[in-house]
Chain A
Amino acid sequence: MNVPQMVLRWACLVCLCRGAFSSSTHKTHSRKKNKDVFLGENTKSKHGGRIDFKMKKSDSTKSLLIKSEQLLRIEDHDFAMRPGFGGAAIPVGIDVQVESIDSISEVNMDFTMTLYLRHYWQDDRLAFPSSSNKSRTFDARLVKKIWVPDVFFVHSKRSFIHDTTMENIMLRVYPDGNILYSVRVTVTALCAMDFSSFPLDTQNCSLELESYAYNENDLMLYWKNGNDSLRTDEIVLSQFFIEEFQPSYGLAFYSSTGWYNRLYINFILRRHIFFFMLQTYFPTMLMVMLSWVSFWIDRRAVPARVSLGITTVLTMSTIITGVSASMPQVSYVKAVDIYLWASFLFVFLSVIEYAAVNYFTTVEEMKRLKKGTMPASYNANQAMAFDGCFHDEIDLSPFPELPTTPNTDRTVAPRNSSSPADPPPTEGTRLWRRRSVRHNLKFIMSNSYMIDSYSRIIFPLAYLLFNIIYWCMYS
């Protein structure tokens, strides 16, 4: 290292410094020694020219030596302390624009929302002199150096400020010290949902904002434009209809730390029923109707009726399991549960009904077998194997009983004589009214086909009644 080089470097440094200082003054301001810099809109070129003139090894592309810290005098203040520290509470206005509601999860009982959160406050330490009233915009790097309110989302599970490609933060400083601080946040927050009317339910969720450190003596959080502070983009949810978005305000008390201002973003969601109609209610109704088909099939077709009944029970069971899979395991009964279980009961009863019919038919057969005779040539099993139904002379429909004729092999006379107290039924219903209950029960037992006839009417009517009650109650 030789001395002349050092001297030259020192001289250059001195010139640079002098150049910097001389260029930092504006004609409307007196020359000051401090680093207060004012930069007008149309004086840049002038300053640039002056710098070029002043510096020795001048580079024409070098701009004004201005730092935002110098502009905003960041080094002069301690931004760890809030504006007005030790004095009155600082009012911070909040404005929210909801970009989207990403998902609403029943199983986790939460919702995910993306929003632009804007804070407005005044910090005198950031005021800078300006002839025009234009603000200065900065991005995330300045945020770390100044004071910003520490708003957090109460009851949030996960949240993050988007950071692609840079942190989505904007800071806009006005000459009088007013600040607009905007962040783009995605937050997943808790929403206590009540499923007792699911899927005809309405959920009421809210997102809550609060300052973490500063209670109401230090920071007053308020909605900047009252009820208009909350704006939404076109939010479309596939499963819900958003009834309303509303901001509100409250105070929250923490026993250890005091009273805090809390802002609420409330929204009401109404579920679209259509998907569940198509996926759950409609298949259930069809299964119940299919179980009624069993009453119209010949009661002698044992395998047919049993398999029909049991397969509808199986399908109902599958539908019930399918619905429960996407639901939280709550400890109360949901509206859809009521419907599914009532329908399951109907289907179950149709199986039980056929068991009763079959039992009484067998009882009748036994009685007839004891009293009547069967031809030796007749092989009941063989006949059944051919056409799947067992052969006998039991009359299935309530036709009037005719006197037996000699040409019929199997006599029906024993049947008539077996119950002398029971005249042949001309019309079952007429008989029903005239006899006592016990008599009618005995009658039914000996004519088990009646169970089917009545079931054909009772089951559909009962199900229709249930549906009317259910939909009136929940709609």
Chain B
Amino acid sequence: MVDVTKNRKVKTDQLLRVDDHDFTMRPAFAGPAVPVGVDVQVESLDSISEVDMDFTMTLYLRHYWKDERLSFPSTTNKSMTFDGRLVKKIWVPDVFFVHSKRSFIHDTTTDNIMLRVYPDGHVLYSLRVTVTAACNMDFSRFPLDSQTCTLELESYAYTDEDLMLYWKSGNDSLSTDDKISLSQFLIQQFHTTSRLAFYSSTGWYNRLFINFTLRRHIFFFLLQTYFPATLMVMLSWVSFWIDRRAVPARVSLGITTVLTMSTIITGVNASMPRVSYIKAVDIYLWVSFVFVFLSVLEYAAVNYLTTVKDGKDRKLRESLPCSCGMSHTRTMMLDGTYSEADTNSLAGYTRAPNMAEDPPEKQERMVVHLSLDNEYTGPKKKRFKSFRIIQNTHAIDTLSRMIFPGAYIIFNLIYWCVYC
């Protein structure tokens, strides 16, 4: 009883006569090199890791060669398609990725392998691979940098006398999905090259290169690093506008901005490899840190000099017979204005013997301070008179209000011009 549903017993093995040949040997064994064309379609760039200095890519890798042992008779010129199970029985080129750290052929739901055999023996072998390969990155301009990474294909066993690897369509062999996008990078270009690689023990091999250039998007770092650092520096300038007598306020403002800058710096270096050169972001953060630090030192200087001057003025007052010699502090309490400090006090204290030389001048000044209090700094003060601003400003503060922002703006101009 013949079962009509039972077709002709055709096995691929019989069709392709796999058992008749020994497929451990390459086509044209001991003959000329077998040319194998390669075609790549990049599906995605999964991740680029700075800490590990590598990238992960998923691609469709296609090989084209001719193996006469696999030709079969056919009236139409149609090819036959097989999946992963035939691959184990025939010869396929052993291409590997040089400098890869980990790689695998996807195997869900079955091995992602396709084999297409044409009647004349041409074979198309396609597989879907994810490979993590090393990429030497240079971070000296991080985060305003561009990285060039390469994926290299080579045959493991066969030198260029046995297997010639080439890009099947020249520069058009590499195609990418349109949807390739990375969150942090802009992919500038993909292009292919080909070279020979020499190994001293084993000979010359054909190597194919997939090169791509990535440019980093700066926006994330602007928001995460540059903007907070700039704000912290500006915050430290607020200290120059606060009354120098408010000691706890100015000190805690300065020290808290230093602490925040330190935290920002630590945060940036957490996700970076420990390189031995300075990065662009390091330069910015450290210069900002120095600005913030200097604002703390500036207030320490102001406070110290104020105290020194206070002491000297007190001495002077005590040596004056003048009954109107109230302490500056006292005058300050009464009318809220404080005349501009005489810059002579910055020169350091004078000892009692020396003061004998200066007193006449100083007495005069003292008197002038008291009687012509409002006119001494008239031209300047008249502008503010209407505001009744409490002027208790040391010269250093006044200078700092202009110097610090000016210097920081100049630094920013230089920095962004150099790196953009």
Complex Cα–Cα for A275 and B97 (A): 32
B105 and A165 within 8 A (CB) = yes
Residues of B within 8 A of A66 (CB): 22, 25, 29
Q: Is the CB of B71 within 8 A of A65?
A: no
- Which listed residue (B22, B95, B333) contacts A165, Cβ 8 A? B95
Shortest Cβ gap from A147 to chain B (Å): 16
A283 with B159: CB separation less than 8 A:
no
B-side contacts of A169, CB under 8 Å: 156-157
Q: Is B134 an interface residue (CB 8 A)?
A: yes
B255 in contact with A290 (CB, 8 Å): yes
**Is there a chain B Cβ closer than 8 Å to A170's Cβ?**
yes
Measured between alpha carbons, how far is A391 from B62 in the docked complex, in Å? 87
Partner pick for A168 among B96, B329, B333, CB 8 A cutoff: B96
Cβ-defined contact, B269 with A399, below 8 A: no
Bound: A395/B316 CA distance, A: 13
- Contact status of A102 and B131, CB under 8 A, knowing A166-B94, A238-B274, A278-B282: no
- B69: interface (CB < 8 Å): yes
- C-alpha gap A400/B351 in the complex (Å): 7
Interface residue ranges of B295-319 to A (CB < 8 Å): 296-297, 300-301, 303-304, 306-308, 310-312, 314-315, 318-319
From A4-12, A135-143, A339-347, the one touching the partner chain is A135-143
Whether, in the assembled complex, B101 has its beta carbon less than 8 Å from a beta carbon of chain A, the answer is yes
CA of A322 to CA of B262, assembled, Å: 12
When the two chains form their complex, are residues A139 and B134 in contact, meaning their CB atoms are under 8 A apart?
no
Known contacts A68-B25, A304-B252; is A138 also within 8 Å of B157 by CB? yes
With A239-B274, A239-B276, A293-B296 known as contacts, the answer to whether A402 contacts B156 (CB < 8 A) is: no
What is the bound-complex CA distance between A236 and B136, given in angstroms? 8
B248 to chain A: closest CB distance in Å?
4
The one of A65, A137, A184, A238 in contact with B276, judged by C-beta atoms closer than 8 angstroms, is A238
Tell whether, in the assembled complex, residue B311 and residue A396 are in contact, meaning their CB atoms are under 8 Å apart: yes
A305 at the interface (CB under 8 A from B): yes
Contacts of A133 in B (CB 8 A): none
Q: How far is the CA of A97 from the CA of B99 in the complex (A)?
A: 13
Determine the residue in chain A with the shortest Cβ distance to B129.
Answer: A164
Instruction: Tell yes or no: A76 within 8 A of B by CB.
Output: no
Q: Is the interface of A mostly helix, strand, loop or mixed?
A: mixed
Say if the beta carbon of A324 comes within 8 Å of chain B.
no
- Tell whether, in the assembled complex, residue A62 and residue B52 are in contact, meaning their CB atoms are under 8 Å apart: no
Interface presence of B30 (CB below 8 A)? yes
Closest to A456 in B: B304
**In whole angstroms, how far apart are the Cα atoms of A275 and B25 in the complex?**
53
Given contacts A44-B31, A186-B101, A399-B349, contact A103 B96 (CB under 8 A): no
Q: In this assembly, does B387 line the interface, its C-beta being within 8 Å of a C-beta of chain A?
A: no
Q: A318: CB under 8 A from chain B?
A: yes
Instruction: Report which of A67, A97, A402 forms a contact with B319, defined as CB distance below 8 A.
Output: A402
A-B interface pairs (CB < 8 A), number:
260
Of all chain A residues, the one with the shortest Cβ separation from B97 is A164
Chain B residues, CB < 8 A from A39: 29-30
* Contact of A180 with B by CB under 8 A: yes
Contact in complex: A100, B99 (CB < 8 Å) = yes
Q: Which residues of A contact B100 (CB under 8 A)?
A: 162, 164
A368 on interface, CB distance cutoff 8 Å? no
What's the nearest-Cβ distance from chain B to residue A212, in Å? 24
**Does A262 sit at the interface, judged by CB under 8 A?**
no
Are B95 and A103 in contact, with the CB atoms below 8 A? no
Partner of B269, one of A95, A138, A279, A304: A279
Contact of B99 with A301 in the complex, beta carbons under 8 Å = no
The reply to whether B24 and A142 contact each other, CB–CB distance below 8 Å, is yes
User: Considering the chains assembled together, what is the distance between the CA atoms of A283 and B68 in angstroms?
Assistant: 70
Flag if B251 contacts A307 (CB, 8 Å): yes
| Nearest A residue (CB) for B50 | A238
Q: Is B92 an interface residue (CB 8 A)?
A: yes
Q: Which of A97-126 contact B (CB under 8 A)?
A: 97, 99-100, 102-103, 114, 116, 118
Closest Cβ of chain B to A374, distance in Å, is 16
Tell me whether A231 is interfacial, beta carbon within 8 Å.
Answer: yes
Interchain CA distance A307-B255 in the complex, whole Å:
8
A286 to B262: give the CA distance in the assembly, Å: 10
CB distance from A107 to the nearest CB of B (A): 13
Judge whether A395 and B311 touch: CB under 8 Å.
yes
Q: How far is the CB of A140 from chain B (nearest CB, A)?
A: 7
The 8 Å CB contact of B251, one of A283, A301, A395, is: A301
Which chain B residues lie closer than 8 Å to A116 at the CB level? 199
| In the complex, chain A residues whose CB is within 8 Å of the CB of B351 | 400
Known: A68-B25, A298-B247. A164 touches B303 (CB 8 A): no
What 0/1 readout, one digit per residue, does chain A (156-172) give for beta carbons within 8 Å of chain B?
Answer: 00000010111111111
Pairwise interchain contact A386-B333, C-beta atoms closer than 8 A: yes
Q: Is A454 an interface residue (CB 8 A)?
A: no
Interface-side segment among A80-88, A403-411, A458-466: A403-411
Q: What does the 1/0 interface line of A356-390 toward B look like (CB < 8 Å)?
A: 00000000000000000000000000010011110
Most buried by A among B199, B202, B325: B202
Other A-B pairs, 5, CB within 8 Å; known A68-B24, A139-B94: A136-B30, A238-B273, A282-B286, A303-B247, A311-B258
8 inter-chain pairs at a CB distance below 8 angstroms, sorted by A residue, are A61-B68, A61-B121, A63-B69, A99-B98, A166-B93, A311-B258, A396-B307, A402-B352
Closest 4 CB pairs of A and B: A272-B276, A67-B22, A301-B247, A303-B248
Chain B contacts to A: CB under 8 angstroms: 17, 20-22, 24-31, 52-53, 61, 68-69, 71, 73, 92-105, 120-121, 127, 129, 131, 134, 136, 156-159, 162, 199-202, 243, 245-252, 255-256, 258-259, 262-263, 265-266, 269, 273-278, 282, 286, 289, 293, 296-297, 300-301, 303-304, 306-308, 310-312, 314-315, 318-319, 323, 325, 329, 333, 349, 351-352
Residues on A facing B (Cβ under 8 Å): 39-41, 44, 59, 61-63, 65-71, 95, 97, 99-100, 102-103, 114, 116, 118, 134, 136-142, 162, 164-172, 180, 182, 184, 186, 231, 236, 238-239, 241, 272-276, 278-279, 282-283, 286-287, 290, 293, 296-298, 301-305, 307-308, 311-312, 314-315, 318-319, 322, 383, 386-389, 391, 393, 395-397, 399-400, 402, 404-405, 407-408
